[in-house]
Structure 1
Amino acid sequence: MQTDIDPRSLIGRKAFDRDGVKIGTVDEVYLDDATGEPEWAAVRTGLFGRDAFVPLEPSRVEDDGLRIPYERALIREAPGFGVGRHLSPAQELRLYRHYGLELPSPEPPPAADGTAAGEAPSGGPAGTGD
């Protein structure tokens, strides 16, 4: 998604499928726990107000609406988890699979000396020794 968009500004925008058909209104935006970047949006669809979770990447803001590059039927069939709660890793995994998205690669854990994997410890380049 465009990184210059404030996630709060998405709330209340109309959401459209890949064909430009209105599917609902953005209710909430969910941020990635690790990066703080907007990752998912809950879109209120239909007469009964069911929320469908949609990925914000590769969605785009166009003409004051959110364009989601998936078919309406796929969006409506997305797993529902209710809004206002934190998405668990298992729920996110279900969403990634539903939309056929590649799973994000986790950041490598820091080494025992506090450096990131593949990074030289402070004080010298990697691979030097006595």
Structure 2
Amino acid sequence: MQTDIDPRSLIGRKAFDRNGAKIGTVDEVYLDDATGVPEWAAVRTGLFGRDAFVPLEPSEVVGEVLRVPFERSLIKDAPDFGVGRHLSPEQELQLYHHYGLDVSLPGDFHVPPPSD
């Protein structure tokens, strides 16, 4: 994702999955503790839904929407840590594993190809 984007500008944007299905609306943005770079977005998944955490890298801002390169079902099944609180390193690691992201090098993520 663009690293020069103001994280506050993401709040309120609609989020869509890799197939163009609407996931929900960005509620909050979480910054990396060490770098201050936006790292996670909490996306409200419905009127009475919950917030699902999605990685901002490798997501993209396209026009007025956030495109998340994962299936909607995977996003909705992400661990629920609640919003409004700090994500611990252990919680972040659980999220990286959930999305199959390689965290071996900071800022160097690998998204596995979709399985057929």
TM-score by length of 1: 0.78
1-structure distance, mates of 2:77, 2:49:
14
Query: What is the Cα-based RMSD across aligned positions, in Å?
Result: 1.1
| Mapping for residues 74-85 of structure 1, pairs under 5 Å | 74-85=74-85
Q: Which runs of 5+ in 2 are unaligned?
A: 107-116
Consecutive unaligned residues in structure 1, runs of 5 or more: 107-130
Q: Deviations over 1:63-104 (max 9, x none)?
A: 200000000000000001110000001100100000000115
CA shift digits 1:23-73 (9 cap, x unpaired):
100000000001110000000002422000000000000120000000000
Relative contact order (C-alpha < 8 Å, sep 6+): which is higher? 2
Query: 2:72 corresponds to which letter in structure 1?
Result: R
Counterpart-to-counterpart distance in 2, 1:63 and 1:38: 18
Q: Secondary structure at the match of 1:52?
A: strand
Residue in structure 1 matched with residue 88 of structure 2 by the alignment: 88
- The two structures have a TM-score, normalised by structure 2, of 0.87
Deviation at 1:3, TM superposition (A): 1.6
Give the aligned residue type for 1:81.
F
Distance 1:55 1:15 in 2: 12
Inter-partner Cα distance in structure 1 for 2:29 and 2:104: 18
- Select the structure of larger CA radius of gyration: 1
Paired positions, count? 106
Once superposed, which parts of structure 1, at least 4 consecutive aligned residues long, lie more than 4 Å away? Answer: none
**Aligned position for 2:71:** 71
Who is 1:33 aligned against?
Answer: 33
What one-letter code is carried by the residue in structure 2 that aligns with 1:18?
R
Partner residue in 2 for 1:118: none
